[in-house]
Amino acid sequence: MSITIHQCLHGYSNGHQLLTSSVELPTDVKRLLLFQSDLTGSNIQTGFENYLTGYPVLNSSYYALAKTWYANEISRPGCVWTQTLLIELVDLGKIAELSSLLIHFVRPTGDFKRYELPIQFINDLSNLSNQRHDEYDILADYLYMNSQNTIIVESENSSFYEPVVFDIWSDQWPRLRRNFCFCTGVLGVKSLGAKDFDLQVVPKNISQSIARSSKNSKICNLSTIKKEKWLEVVHNTPKVVLRQFLWSYGADITGGREKFIGLISLFTKISDENIDLANINNFIKETLPSPDEGKTLKKFIFGEKVGGSWYSEFEVLYFLSTENNIEHLQIEDYNINKRLQKYIADHPEELNNVLQLLINSNPERINEDIWANIIIPENKIVEVFTGNIIKIEKIILAHPSYASLPAFWQLDNQIQSKILQALISIYPDTLPSDVLKAILKSESEIIYDTEKFYGSSVVYRSLDWLNEGNNLFPPWRNRILFECDESYITWLIENIENLHLSIIKNLFLEHHPNWVFKLPFHHKVMVTFYNLLKYEINDDKLPYISSLFLSKGLTNDDNGSQWIVSATFEDAYVFATKSMLDSHWQIIPKDLENFEEEDFSFNPFDIISKVFSITPPKKKKQIANLDYSEILIRTMTNKFIKNKWSSKCFLEVTKKPEIFYKAVEYLLSSKKGRFFLTKIMNDIQHSNLSPTQNQAKFFNSF
């Protein structure tokens, strides 16, 4: 595999500067490369005439690997040549052994053309040696055990530690590689921005001075060589195996050197077929405590198992469902419910194990609908939940949401009683809505016992269920609608703006009129209900509904009742003229009272003569032979006079010409009636009333 690597050359030409490059670079990148390519100190030290430097190029996509040579052929002291390889960050992780890059460093001899062209690097992955240099242990131990320090390594020359530095660098995963800063010939502290280089090889005679100049340095004590256990793993594991692990699971880990030893330890743990999930989980939590890091590794351990793992899918699901020590996991990433559903579908023979999992699980991790995916044969359901396999009380107490399955409320009454008692111990105040809905849906008679314990709240929520358009089995429906008046009316008032059509029909079609007349509804509500029912019930019920609502309006004497009369009178009048009221006529109140003569300030005969050109009618005191429509007219007009209802409402009620003229005829038969007509006429003249054409014609005649 070929990788294109750009390069540039710095050296002396009227000062240290960029001499040539195979790629055009931004100004800030040029400035950084110029600074890093210059001599690290003021004077060259013997043994450090050339050295290597590696660092990420800030504000670019490159990592810089540079080699610096002392330019002793130039008379000016302190001059150097520096060739820098610019490796794309995405390519840096592809190179098996980073030391293979060193063959591309060539000291300038005067002709700079070779540095003007990019390098085609052949990445050979076939010959990966498993050997590491002897000094690997001490340098790696210092570097990773002191991850927050700059590690100072004393040396006689710059070349001695180059192989081990490249061994260490090559073992790192890509993200760690591209942030690793090192220099094998430090003559003065090397830093990148505000951060000192991770690893700095320095001459012994100036190591203390450099250490003091560093912000947070630690000198490597080469005389103390420890063989840590994690180092044994590094040495005993083939490079290709270890690096594949680090490459795969270091990619999404935040931080840097401090994570290396932890990942090596995790590699050891997950390679051990005898370690249990709890122990490996503890190691993962210790190494990767944040839920947002190491997700790839965590998914390898806790993701869906399809083979090739020490742990079965059920073991992992059981652990994820029941374990409390999982703050380091983003539990949503592991699709517990989806995997559990699949496991249930693929392993029906594991029903008992799954139930045990659900009993012991954390309720927040298991969706309630998971229980619907547990397929229990009907002939086995009683055995499963009442036999020796599992106790019904235990499963309800461990996971109460199971009681939301309607199938439970279709079991034997004794079993249902056990379920209810378990629920009462969990929910002493209010039964969860989903459980009550399951009882209602299953039409179980346990609802009566539920009401005995929880009281009117069961009635209220049963009404909610009914108001959602659901059915109730007849005995329970009859109880809450006809035997629980106080609770029913309280619920109606609270839900008056949201009633389902079935509830409204029940109110006015199934209840006795006397009960309806006592309903404490605002007149606007009654008018709304009437207008709704007119279009939602069968035609044969319309005469009754119009009679009922008209009676409600005529029965009440408050001012708002006039508008119920306004909305219903014409319909009832039409049914009366067609003899369609039948027995409904009995519920309508009759008011046929004639008012005695009184002195008024106007002459009603003048009104009559002007309008009708006839003599005033006699008082209508005989009513035995009056038809229904005439009785309605008299009752309505008398209510307006007695209750002092508004002129506006009267005009609304009598919009139909036939009704208007009959009402006027009746009103003209008494002085109070004629006085009422006079009031209407005055209101029309002085208020914003809008009479019909016929009404206006009548009143404009005076």
Do 119 and 201 belong together in one domain? yes
Max intra-chain CA distance, the chain: 143
Phi and psi, residue 19, nearest 5°: -95, -40
Q: What share of the chain is helix, strand, coil (3-state, %, to 5)?
A: 55, 10, 35
Alpha carbons within 13 angstroms on the beta-carbon side of residue 341 total 11
- Determine the pLDDT at residue 162: 94
Could you tell me which residues come within 8 angstroms of residue 97 by beta carbon, excluding any fewer than 6 positions away? 128, 129, 166, 170
Could you tell me whether strands 2-12 and 119-122 are parallel, antiparallel, or unpaired per DSSP bridges?
Answer: antiparallel
Flag whether 286 is in a domain.
no
What gap in Å lies between CA 691 and CA 694, rounded to an integer? 8
What gap in Å lies between CA 256 and CA 254, rounded to an integer? 7
Q: What is the mean pLDDT of residues 36-61?
A: 90
Do 160 and 12 belong together in one domain? yes
Last residue of a domain, one of 349, 375, 401: 375
Q: Name the more confident of 429 and 43.
A: 429
What gap in Å lies between CA 217 and CA 195, rounded to an integer? 11
Q: Give the tokens for residue 321.
A: 């469902």
**Per-chain mean pLDDT for the chain:** 86
Report the candidate in 42, 257, 223 with the shortest Cα–Cα distance to residue 145. 257
Q: What is the mean pLDDT of residues 634-655?
A: 93
Do 131 and 9 belong together in one domain? yes
Q: Name the more confident of 399 and 90.
A: 90
* pLDDT band at residue 626 using 50, 70 and 90 as cut-offs: low
Over the stretch 534-551, which tens digit does the pLDDT of each residue have? Answer: 999 998 999 999 999 999
Flag whether 523 is in a domain.
no
- Determine the pLDDT at residue 549: 95
Q: How many CB atoms lie under 10 A from the CB of residue 299?
A: 16
Q: How many CB atoms lie under 10 A from the CB of residue 274?
A: 6
Over the stretch 338-389, which tens digit does the pLDDT of each residue have? Answer: 989 888 888 888 877 887 787 788 878 887 677 666 666 655 655 666 554 4
- Determine the pLDDT at residue 604: 47
pLDDT higher than threshold 80 for residue 102: yes
Q: Give the tokens for residue 607.
A: 């009104």
- Determine the pLDDT at residue 612: 46
DSSP, collapsed to helix, strand or coil, labels residue 55 as strand
Flag whether 240 is in a domain.
no
Least confident of 275-284, 311-320, 387-396, 594-603: 594-603
Flag whether 234 is in a domain.
no
**pTM for the full predicted model:** 0.55
* pLDDT band at residue 444 using 50, 70 and 90 as cut-offs: very high
pLDDT higher than threshold 90 for residue 595: no
pLDDT higher than threshold 70 for residue 594: no
Last residue of a domain, one of 351, 375, 399: 375
Flag whether 96 is in a domain.
yes
Do 196 and 296 belong together in one domain? no
Do 193 and 67 belong together in one domain? yes
Flag whether 226 is in a domain.
no
Handedness of CA 535, 539, 544, 546 (dihedral sign): positive
- Determine the pLDDT at residue 382: 57
Flag whether 232 is in a domain.
no
What gap in Å lies between CA 543 and CA 19, rounded to an integer? 105
How far is C-alpha 416 from the geometric centre of its chain's CA atoms?
A: 34
Q: Which range marks the domain in which residue 352 is found? A: 292-375
pLDDT higher than threshold 50 for residue 203: yes
Last residue of a domain, one of 191, 219, 247: 219
Do 210 and 108 belong together in one domain? yes
Over the stretch 251-293, which tens digit does the pLDDT of each residue have? Answer: 787 778 888 988 888 888 878 778 888 888 888 888 888 888 8
Instruction: Count the domains in the chain.
Output: 3
Do 32 and 174 belong together in one domain? yes
Flag whether 102 is in a domain.
yes
